[in-house]
Structure 1
Amino acid sequence: MFGSLGAYIIYIVLLMAIPLWAQSKVKNTYKKYSKKATSSSMTGADVARKILNDNGIYDVNVEETKGTLTDHYDPKKKVVRLSSDNFHGQSMASSAIAAHEVGHAIQDAEEYAFLKFRSALVPAASSGSNISFFLIIAGLIFGVSELFLLGIIFMSAAVLFQLVTLPVEFDASNRAMGQLVSTGIIRNNEERPTKKVLNAAALTYVAAALVAVLELGRFIMMYLVSNE
């Protein structure tokens, strides 16, 4: 009993530590390279607009949004939103993040398959995240395996969304790097620091997917054991 309890405690600690480590990595990397200006001295807003224009994308606006690291691309409204620090900043971090978000706009313009698939999964993933745990807990409390299984199915949709997000984000980062280099926004000695910012940001998605898969696997094992 102590052995299994100890293993469960280790599992929970890891489940909490993985995303915290990823977030810490992102914050530290962003903080470091947000203090280092690029040789082009372009703001994040300038970077985003230039890359969009160079790719013939004129129907996407670049806007400032509140918060820290709240940068995102809104495919419905065709807007790249950059947090204030990145919108106005002239740092390597600002350029990297702006280019990454424009990478999503380019994906959208090219109808990138994984982006379309992820967008199609949004309703199911949102529902799965909201009700899966309630169904699983209800199944456990009332001993109704059908509810437990239904909860697992809903959770699977949310996990699939997390997994599909990985190629979308990695591809956006690859596009960002290519655009920053080809347009001359960054120079050779700036490529490595820029890549570090992009890689650190990607860790958050990897961590989220890993945690989601681990939790789904745990509940599947619980279901199988309870139905033996």
Structure 2
Amino acid sequence: MIMYFLFLAPALLLGLYAQWKVKSAFSEMSKVPARMSGAEAARRMLDNGGLQSVRIEQVQGHLSDHYDPRAKVLRLSSDVYGGRSMAALGVACHEAGHAFQDATGYLPLVVRNAAVPAANFGSGISGVLLMVGYLMSSKALILIGVIFFSAVVFFQLVNLPVEFDASARAKRELVAQGMIAGNEEHYVSKVLGAAALTYVAATLQSVMTLAYYLFMIFGNQRSND
């Protein structure tokens, strides 16, 4: 157990910091006024890219914003949908960036979407296999559990370029279409940069968890030899 926390402590601390950073940045940038609401900015960005068929809906929850590639719908939380702030513009256009990726067949997004079922299954079954494997001292079950968990790690790794690219598209379109001035880009970057840190923390946590599992398998194997 001590070894587990030694492996995971940096990732867990980074995750806590990232969550605080997102809330802090969003709160701060919500006070910086913008020329339009998040929904209006996303609509302009989508229309300019020929994505008039992508709908925008308002949903409940705080920072529950996401793009649904199956329904072709951009779902924005109330604070983002109607918010006329730099925070709202940044988040809304980031999600619109995912719609652009979907429309153009952006390869990392295609791979990520294809990996979702395996990652969900791997996340659920790996814990069971690892626990049973350790209780039964079965290296075969433990190894199978690690293999399934590797799908989660793969998903997190391929998710990073998807999220970074969506943020880059958002900032580029906001400036290019005159929704923000060039000297206002750093306001949007503050929110999107904080959000990016959460993806990095999640990826680091999954990678270090996998490293711990591998250490337990091969470390114990070397000690027994």
Shorter-chain TM-score category? Answer: over 0.9
Q: Secondary structure at the match of 2:56?
A: strand
Q: How far apart, in 2, do the equivalents of 1:216 and 1:11 lie?
A: 10
**Corresponding residue for 1:25?**
21
- Taking only aligned residues, the RMSD between alpha carbons, in angstroms, comes to 1.4
2:168 is aligned with what amino acid? Answer: N
Deviates more, 1:13-22 or 1:86-95: 13-22
* Deviation for aligned residue 1:10: 4.4
Q: Does 1:199 align with 2:196?
A: no
> Aligned in 2, Cα 1:28/1:43: closer, same or farther, shift over 3 Å?
same
Q: Output one character per residue of 1:100-158: Cα deviation in whole Å (capped at 9) or x when no partner.
A: 00000000000000000000001100001111111111111101101000000000001
**Corresponding residue for 2:33?**
37
Q: State the identity as a percent.
A: 47
* Deviation for aligned residue 1:15: 4.0
Q: How far apart, in 2, do the equivalents of 1:221 and 1:11 lie?
A: 10
* Deviation for aligned residue 1:12: 4.6
More RCO (CA 8 Å, sep 6+): 2
Alignment map for 1:1-16 (pairs within 5 Å)? 5=2, 9-16=5-12
1:117 to 102, 111, 115: 111
Q: How far apart, in 2, do the equivalents of 1:171 and 1:177 lie?
A: 10
Mapped contact 2:8–2:205 kept (Cα < 8 A):
no
Mapped contact 2:146–2:210 kept (Cα < 8 A):
yes
Q: Secondary structure at the match of 1:68?
A: coil
Deviates more, 1:90-99 or 1:132-141: 132-141
1:53 to 29, 47, 54: 47
- Any gaps of 5 or more consecutive residues in structure 2? none
Q: How far apart, in 1, do the equivalents of 2:120 and 2:100 lie?
A: 25
TM-score by length of 1: 0.94
Q: How far apart, in 1, do the equivalents of 2:7 and 2:107 lie?
A: 35
2:72 to 75, 78, 87: 78
2:33 is aligned with what amino acid? Answer: A
**Corresponding residue for 2:163?**
169
Q: Secondary structure at the match of 2:76?
A: strand
Q: Does 1:89 align with 2:83?
A: yes
Q: Output one character per residue of 1:154-208: Cα deviation in whole Å (capped at 9) or x when no partner.
A: 0000110000000000000000010000000001221111111111111110000
2:30 is aligned with what amino acid? Answer: S
1:18 is aligned with what amino acid? Answer: L
2:140 is aligned with what amino acid? Answer: E
Q: How far apart, in 1, do the equivalents of 2:151 and 2:5 lie?
A: 27
Q: How far apart, in 1, do the equivalents of 2:184 and 2:8 lie?
A: 39
Q: Secondary structure at the match of 1:195?
A: helix
Q: How far apart, in 2, do the equivalents of 1:167 and 1:12 lie?
A: 23
Q: Secondary structure at the match of 2:148?
A: helix
Q: How far apart, in 1, do the equivalents of 2:5 and 2:176 lie?
A: 49
Q: How far apart, in 2, do the equivalents of 1:25 and 1:11 lie?
A: 23
> Aligned in 2, Cα 1:8/1:149: closer, same or farther, shift over 3 Å?
closer
- Any gaps of 5 or more consecutive residues in structure 1? none
Q: Does 1:189 align with 2:183?
A: yes
Aligned residues: 222
Q: How far apart, in 1, do the equivalents of 2:15 and 2:77 lie?
A: 22
